[in-house]
Chains A and B, each alone.
Chain A
């Protein structure tokens, strides 16, 4: 009898879970959260919502909803009240910040919601996009992929596979704006109809930037290049190629394709791979960066150089381009290459480090780039290196 009572007591405890239970069909899932400057209120908040269920043919429907508000919680409450399902953020994958807002640093106050909605942020990738975000979100929706599976991993996959965009999670973004050791570099997206964007470095005839790509596809929103920040303010855009070069220095680069003009005027295209982590030495007012890359030329039989010449040529070209990119981002006071990460090593007292203003030293920092290139295929020497 005593044992029976004990079992009954234990079973009674388990019924607590049934209290205030909610059916999973009552939820709609927010996949993307967007924030841009509002017209009446400070912010226009846009959600891309995925609603499971529907008809037998269409299992998932996607909708873009938006509200003007003074804070995230106000927008959430407004939209939650005005939407037939309960909004859940457990599947949110992208946080998209409007470019105009990012350029004014207005997103920082808005993003203070992190502690209140901790289930929202962990999986988020942060992206900057040219407004209006409704167009950007609608451009990501296609009947060919109703569950929007691709969006959830697209930014990370694109960055890993080609290096033409930056991949920053929300945690990394918060670290960049709160810790002062480096600046944020976020993926850049846009709806394709908005025309060419200007790249900060400015030596490209066709800057490879999201929203200005010459593509005709089912998805009308494209992602390429990166938005560069100084603290919490966006200061410019780097195109795909320059993004790739910054990623090489921050050791976030894996592989990518680059084109160079050979001395004879011929275009030389190579696939570049990371060999090992770069060596960065930060001295007093100077820094030395050594990169280790492997190059694999396209159509090797047409390459007009022997292997040693080709390696020297690629190393020289890359070093020159890295210098140009560094000078440009230094001029806008953005440390996206992250030299500040090494500055803290010199301190043994936290108070000294906190008093130290890294950015004032960064403005006068002189950096020497050197690149070591190996070839995975040598066109004129029959042996593989």
Chain B
């Protein structure tokens, strides 16, 4: 077997979950859907992280009952394993695409204005493939190394924007519509569940189920809080009527800071740091999808799958970009309904657990 999972500690796995939660939560957002009926994004993110953590705890509990270190142990030898695995792999590919799609849009609109989407996209494929092929240990250790500088850049961006924050922009706070917040949080699970789902896929590398549980909890809570804080800062920078028309609001926030303080030109430097974080997040999801695929279908080497899935992700980004109308329609439905790819198989996996018959004693 050459799945390249390796072995890593709690800090490393918490770091990758934190980064993935932040980058998915902040950059894999359909602004129109999120801000269509006002701005409760920070509440939605918080509720969604709680829902994701509950799901994670249930799976961890199932692993304890069944005995196993990762999600493939739960899927086991079920006859339905292909039907259970493929939606999860698809969900991870979509989760990998979303932040990259957002960054590509930012780069082609604000930085390399005259460049074509495909030209910039070409740079992504080797990065994604290389990281995905090198395996979990490389990914999580890189995340641990990048974490301080990425956190610093996020905090610097939020602090530098203080001059733009106006508290009146967060009103009206839609606390009178809890059902809508829960519905949006359900859709937002496509952003908050994949970091934990990917951790469950590569759980073998954490060496211990308890280590996996605590790193998942730490990463998701810290990442969720950071993401909610960033979304709250965004809510104070732009009114929701403007946010719903902004494809890349976080970069707009940095640009506004530059406009007010021309000497504080953080935008480009921070954008490229964040791009590194987004590529790492996407590679993490793609690698988790590779492992799930290899373990389920008995493939012994993760690299061909890594090349395949990286190619699929980049191709999908390009296809969705070039057919604008279809892209918008598909993305809308993905952002709205793709959570079902996770929500349907996991209860089935859990049901499968109940049906498992105890082993009969073999009489000699």
At the interface, yes or no: B78 with Cβ under 8 Å from chain A? no
In the complex, are the beta carbons of A347 and B110 less than 8 A apart? no
Complex formed: what's the CA distance from A350 to B43 in Å?
15
Is B80 on the interface with A (CB-CB < 8 A)?
Answer: no
Tell whether A24 is near chain B: CB-to-CB under 8 Å. no
* Contact yes or no, B172 A347, CB < 8 A: yes
Say if the beta carbon of A20 comes within 8 Å of chain B: yes
CA distance A123 to B37 in the complex (A): 29
Counting chain A residues whose Cβ lies within 8 A of the other chain, the interface size class is 20 to 34
Other-chain contact of A174, B110, B172, B242, B260 (Cβ < 8 Å): B242
B177 interface residue per 8 A CB criterion: yes
Residue A118 lies at the interface, judged by CB distance under 8 Å to chain B: yes
Which of A186-194, A240-248, A290-298, A338-346 forms part of the interface with chain B?
Answer: A338-346
B65 within 8 A of A: no
Q: Verify if A8 is at the interface (C-beta below 8 Å from B).
A: no
Hey, what's the 0/1 contact readout for B95-137 against A, CB within 8 Å counting as 1? Answer: 0000000000000011001100001001100100000000000
A111 CB to closest chain B CB (Å) equals: 14
| B171 neighbours in A (Cβ, 8 Å) | 344-345, 347, 353
Residue contact A119 to B110, C-beta cutoff 8 Å = yes
Contacts of B256 in A (CB 8 A): 122, 169, 171
**Cα distance A66–B170 when bound, in Å?**
41
Q: Within residues 236 to 257 of chain B, which ones have a CB less than 8 A from any CB in chain A? A: 238-242, 245, 255-256
Question: What is the bound-complex CA distance between A122 and B267, given in angstroms?
Answer: 12
Q: What is the distance, in angstroms, from A330's C-beta to the closest C-beta of chain B? A: 20
B259 contacts which of A119, A171, A178 (Cβ < 8 Å)? A171
Proximity string of chain B (204-244) to chain A, C-beta cutoff 8 Å, 1 when within and 0 when not: 00000000000000000000000000000000001111100
Could you tell me the distance between the alpha carbons of A19 and B111 in the complex, rounded to whole angstroms?
A: 16
Q: What separation, in Å, do the CA atoms of A115 and B259 have in the docked complex?
A: 17
Tally A-B pairs: CB < 8 A.
78
Interface residues of B in 256-277 (CB under 8 A from A): 256, 258-260, 262
Known: A171-B259, A175-B239, A181-B239. A348 touches B174 (CB 8 A): yes
- A352 nearest CB across to chain B (Å): 8
Check B358 for interface membership: any CB of A closer than 8 A: no
Whether A179 contacts B177 in the complex (CB less than 8 A), given A122-B255, A122-B259, A344-B168, comes out as: no
- Contact residues in B for A11 (Cβ distance below 8 Å): none
Rounded to whole angstroms, the CA-CA distance of A179 and B238 in the bound complex is: 10
User: Once the chains are docked, how many angstroms separate the CA of A119 from the CA of B268?
Assistant: 13
CA distance A348 to B37 in the complex (A): 12
Shortest Cβ gap from A289 to chain B (Å): 15
Kindly state whether residue B173 has any CB partner on chain A within 8 Å: yes
| A40 on the B face (CB < 8 A) | no
Contact of A350 with B241 at beta-carbon distance under 8 Å, contacts A13-B126, A171-B256 already known: no
Tell me if B38 counts as interface (CB < 8 A to partner A): yes
Which of A124, A171, A348 sits near B176, CB closer than 8 Å?
Answer: A348
Q: Are A348 and B175 in contact (CB-based, < 8 A)?
A: yes
Q: Does any Cβ of B come within 8 Å of A217's Cβ? A: no
Listed by A's residue number, 5 A-B pairs whose Cβ atoms lie within 8 Å are A118-B109, A119-B110, A122-B258, A174-B242, A350-B174
